[in-house]
Structure 1
Amino acid sequence: MAALGVAAAGLSWFSALAIGVTLLKCLLIPTYHSTDFEVHRNWLAITHTLPISQWYYEATSEWTLDYPPFFAWFEYVLSHAAKYFDQEMLNVHNLNYSSPRTLLFQRLSVIFTDALFVYAVHECCKCIDGKKTSKELTEKPKFILSVLLLWNFGLLIVDHIHFQYNGFLFGIMLLSIARLFQKRHMEGAFLFAVLLHFKHIYLYVAPAYGIYLLRSYCFTASKPDGAVRWSSFSLVRVISLGLIVVLVSALSLGPFIALNQLPQVLSRLFPFKRGLCHAYWAPNFWALYNAVDKVLSVVGLELKLLDPNQLPRASMTSGLVQQFQHAVLPSVTPLATLFCTLVAILPSVFCLWFKPQGPRGFLRCLVLCALSSFMFGWHVHEKAILLAILPMSLLSVEKAGDASIFLILTTTGHYSLFPLLFTAPELPIKILLMLLFTIYSISSLKTLFRKEKPLFNWMETFYLLGLGPLEVCCEFIFPLTSWKVKFPFLPLLLTSVYCALGIAYAWLRLYVSVVTGCLVSKTKKQ
């Protein structure tokens, strides 16, 4: 009976958190929405009114279908509910259509599908280390993790203001992670394979899944020295994992292969002509690279070392999505970004192979793969930082070092999303929501690890506090200056560069901790 009472109590606070955030999402329904709203409305129309043979060819709108087939089928299913709200939203030629009923349907569809995310968070909470003897010490990390995930600031503004369907996609990923923690490897692999065919951005973390499943599932015997022995290799398990990938891929891509449209589908999924950086610079290595190039070009012109007539006309600071040439530094190609990304990922993958350290080692590798791809990938969207922040939340409630890295990463990464919401009515909303989430994150994790050393040193504290003056300058002071007309992209440049420093620092800190842990473990064994 006591156990049932504890379970009921646990369910009650989790349900309260889930219901509370759902009500908040409902309050955000009338807020600003980006062009992604029209993107998904157009996809509803395409999949509802056109045969499958035309889905990846339709180009009436500039917002063509460029997600994998499972997402297209997801839009197809939604469209059959959408017709009961407003049939006109399903007209392919009704470009930029946004009636009140269309707005209500699309907002509610995001909220409704978030039920999968809520369930995944509940499953992830079961994976928190429960070795503590005190019930309070066991439940507290679970409560904090639930808040960090369910009330995640970035997910709230990206999905429920800016508008996207990341919630249920992250739900699939978190559920996959939870299944791997629970030793249900086949189920975890299946969920991830399905996820890849919903949104291909999750290819970023595929190396972590592949290596972990091969190393920890296909080598069945547990050896005290951690060495890989082919005598423990299970060919049956490898074939089982391969069948999962093949069958899911066949179900997704099979119809388009039959129609001889696979090249067309792939060309939509990987459009390399969009340029190195997205219109809103992701705060990564290339933002720093672009900024250095811009500074060198300005200095070169002032010192008359550069000929203004020979500089490329297109500027990296124009804020447009297109290909650019750098003025001073070598221009970057998609192949160069792929090489940099692979080099950045390899050390974490090697550590996962030679020192798996269980599901938590896999999770650290997953975060490093996501961050490395974010730092060096081609045309990275700033929203991709959530791919690292959300899984890092699971690590933050178990170790003080991971909590410190998480707080730097999440605070900086979330602030970098501010330019997505540029209209005046959303200014107080985004500032208030981020302040509440950040204050709770820092205070709760500090309390959780109060017996450990401080989570921040003076340098980290100074950097995070610097986000306040940066926001004041970008939102309140800059619009009053004459620079607003001459340098309209300056606030975005400053935001990207400043946040890139913090994210790069968090990435390096996490890398050092993972590699050091791997080396120390090997030294002890020797």
Structure 2
Amino acid sequence: MLSLPVGWFRALLVSGADGRRMALPGSILATLLIKWAVSLHSHSGLNTPPMFGDFEAQRHWMELTTHLPRSEWYRYDLGYWGLDYPPLTALHSWLFGNIAHMIDPSWVALNSSRGNEDPNLKQFMRLTALITDMLAFLPGVVLFSKLWFSSPTSWIEKQTWIFLMLLCPTLIVIDHGHFQYNSAMLGFALLAFALFLDKRYIFGSIFFCLSLNFKQMALFYAIPVFFYLLGQCVQMGAVRGLTMLLKLGLTVVITFAACIAAVTPSIDDTFQMLVRVFPVNRGLYEDKVANFWCAINVVIKLREMFDVPDLVKLSMACTLLAVIPAGLLVFRYPNRRTFLYSLVVGSLGFFLFSFQVHEKSILLPALPVMIFVLDDPVAASWFINVAMFSMFPLLKKDGLVLVYIALVCLWNLLNPAMFNYRTDFAKICTFGSVSLMVGWHIVEITSPPSKRYPDLDAVFNILISTAHFGIFFLYFYYQLWVSSTKGALSSASSSTAVLFVASPTSSVSPLRSPTKSFPKSLSKTKTE
């Protein structure tokens, strides 16, 4: 099936050089329009005093970083949205807070601006999310596409991939609907992954450190990144490998030191920042999140059986047990495809088993999954649909149901390969999955809320989503195993993967492994 984006890019390709130059600006403008349309709707905590929500948290951090000395940033009134993200988030808040103060001081006035819902302030905040997206996430997408689709015959695939990455509904609905700045963390991470694939390990390490220093959740990628770089160092030989390892270690130390020194004037302030960034006293999971701990809580009340320190140890042990084998595989076989699959497995393992996970943390495994949106289209697109479904209780709470429906429909209508099944088994699996999720929505809408079990709908959502994520975890682990044992051969060519992937491609980038998963309709036309 020829989708609208593919048809558009094919027309631009045929039109010549002038047409090809319109492709990237066209994708950027189209997705910017979608993001801005989403931003016109509700946001987290709208009209819900006294704490409001994430929108107010981001605004409040601008307020406190603008007016208070750095020594107070991680100490001030911790009961009201105390700053609990790493240094780059604080600096990001300081920058936009000062700009807001210049435009209208009432937006970030210390204490008196709490709960400010001025329409002009909302427009400013929404604009800061778009600017952050453009400055951090867009460069990561563009650079990665140049490496992943370096062949001149893969122009249509490259432009389609860029468009789909920018259209990713999970990131749009959280950053431009719910309201956060995840695009910075994910953009820095994507830049790091691209630089690693290009063997520019020092620069890649700098950007990965920047990702970690923007949001600590980037630790979801840390184990695969560590083992991949270690494996590359080992392959260089003793002298060159040890030299590179020392350079990487020094790069990490210097980057972290520079970021931390920028916001914490003293050692005591540094320790306070770490306490805020890693709050082990909050509990095993946050609200209603589709991971193992929240799902198992339906039958086993772990939080009532164990103290918090014991739960931390339990979750850490389970997380390492789930993720370390992926790290060892990428260490032993540090090729590009193995690295990218290890990022999926590692981040999804952290999401399922680590301590204090939020619903929004599904954005982290969604990023490396999206990289495979054209190589393993059905699995990747299906994962994004499930990720959106898993966040529905949060989005409903935020008043974003209409946005949720619109983004899911856009994603599936504009995705060129979502329903390009290779086998009947894949069709049956996805149809059954979609039917289950749609059926849940129908029951949730038509049935009155249970007075005895008010969270029953959310619990069923968690169970459905967690079951899906567990299956995806095993599937991508298998893909990782096949990619490691076959080296440069694509895991999509394995006998199991063909259950989920689409048709073969005739044009493959040198940086991408040969794959049987790319839609034929995208690879018919070659560049002139």
Rate the CA distance shift 1:38–1:446 in 2: closer, same or farther, 3 A.
same
2:197 equivalent among 153, 177, 181? 181
Could you tell me which residue of structure 1 aligns to residue 126 of structure 2? 107
- Residue by residue, what CA displacement relative to the aligned partner does 1:103-127 show, whole Å, maximum 9, x if unpaired? 1111110011111212221112112
Could you tell me which residue of structure 2 aligns to residue 254 of structure 1? 261
**Mapping of residues 131-280 of structure 1, within 5 Å:** 135=153, 138-216=154-232, 218-219=233-234, 221=236, 230-231=237-238, 233-254=240-261, 256=264, 258-279=266-287
Q: Which amino acid aligns with 1:352?
A: V
Rate the CA distance shift 1:457–1:4 in 2: closer, same or farther, 3 A.
closer
Structure 2 Cα separation of the partners of residues 50 and 424 of structure 1: 30
2:325 is the alignment partner of 1:325: no
Q: Is the 8 A contact 1:69 1:197 kept in 2?
A: yes
SS at 1:64's partner residue? coil
Could you tell me which residue of structure 1 aligns to residue 146 of structure 2? 126
Structure 1 Cα separation of the partners of residues 486 and 27 of structure 2: 40
Rate the CA distance shift 1:257–1:236 in 2: closer, same or farther, 3 A.
farther
Structure 2 Cα separation of the partners of residues 128 and 516 of structure 1: 20
Could you tell me which residue of structure 2 aligns to residue 319 of structure 1? none
- Residue by residue, what CA displacement relative to the aligned partner does 1:465-495 show, whole Å, maximum 9, x if unpaired? 2110111112x123x35x1x32221111111
Could you tell me which residue of structure 1 aligns to residue 512 of structure 2? none
- Residue by residue, what CA displacement relative to the aligned partner does 1:289-348 show, whole Å, maximum 9, x if unpaired? 112337xxxxxxxxxxxxxxxxxxxxx9xxxxxxx4159xx9961110011001101111
Q: Is the 8 A contact 2:38 2:173 kept in 1?
A: no
Could you tell me which residue of structure 1 aligns to residue 57 of structure 2? 39
Q: Per-residue deviation at 1:91? A: 2.1
Could you tell me which residue of structure 2 aligns to residue 505 of structure 1? 471
SS at 1:456's partner residue? helix
Q: Per-residue deviation at 1:424? A: 8.8
Q: Which amino acid aligns with 2:246?
A: I
Could you tell me which residue of structure 1 aligns to residue 393 of structure 2? 419
Q: Kindly name which structure, 1 or 2, has the bigger radius of gyration based on alpha carbons.
A: 1
- Residue by residue, what CA displacement relative to the aligned partner does 1:407-438 show, whole Å, maximum 9, x if unpaired? 33211111111112225963222112112213
How many residue pairs end up in the alignment?
466
1:283 equivalent among 283, 290, 304? 290
Q: Per-residue deviation at 1:453? A: 4.1
Q: Is the 8 A contact 1:397 1:445 kept in 2?
A: no
Q: Per-residue deviation at 1:53? A: 0.8
SS at 1:396's partner residue? coil
TM-score (norm 1): 0.82
Could you tell me which residue of structure 2 aligns to residue 338 of structure 1? 316
- Residue by residue, what CA displacement relative to the aligned partner does 1:222-249 show, whole Å, maximum 9, x if unpaired? xxxxxxxx54643321221112111111
Q: Per-residue deviation at 1:181? A: 2.1
Structure 1 Cα separation of the partners of residues 92 and 338 of structure 2: 33
Q: Is the 8 A contact 2:201 2:248 kept in 1?
A: no
Q: Is the 8 A contact 1:290 1:326 kept in 2?
A: no
Structure 2 Cα separation of the partners of residues 437 and 258 of structure 1: 48
- Residue by residue, what CA displacement relative to the aligned partner does 1:17-62 show, whole Å, maximum 9, x if unpaired? 1111212222233311111111011100110000001111101652
Rate the CA distance shift 1:140–1:454 in 2: closer, same or farther, 3 A.
farther
Structure 1 Cα separation of the partners of residues 425 and 310 of structure 2: 37
- Residue by residue, what CA displacement relative to the aligned partner does 1:213-271 show, whole Å, maximum 9, x if unpaired? 1221x2354xxxxxxxx546433212211121111111122363635222211110111
Q: Is the 8 A contact 1:408 1:506 kept in 2?
A: no
Structure 1 Cα separation of the partners of residues 17 and 273 of structure 2: 47
Q: Which amino acid aligns with 1:444?
A: A
The alignment's C-alpha RMSD in Å is 2.7
Gaps of 5+ in 1: 222-229, 295-315, 317-323
Structure 2 Cα separation of the partners of residues 28 and 48 of structure 1: 28
Could you tell me which residue of structure 1 aligns to residue 501 of structure 2? none
Structure 2 Cα separation of the partners of residues 87 and 355 of structure 1: 55
SS at 1:436's partner residue? helix
Deviates more, 1:78-87 or 1:333-342: 78-87
SS at 2:337's partner residue? helix
Identity, % of aligned positions: 26
Rate the CA distance shift 1:129–1:107 in 2: closer, same or farther, 3 A.
closer
Structure 2 Cα separation of the partners of residues 394 and 215 of structure 1: 22
Structure 2 Cα separation of the partners of residues 376 and 491 of structure 1: 22
Structure 1 Cα separation of the partners of residues 79 and 297 of structure 2: 31
Q: Which amino acid aligns with 1:119?
A: P
Rate the CA distance shift 1:518–1:120 in 2: closer, same or farther, 3 A.
closer
- Residue by residue, what CA displacement relative to the aligned partner does 1:126-177 show, whole Å, maximum 9, x if unpaired? 1234558xx4xx1332233223210111111101110000112211111111
Q: Is the 8 A contact 1:31 1:161 kept in 2?
A: yes
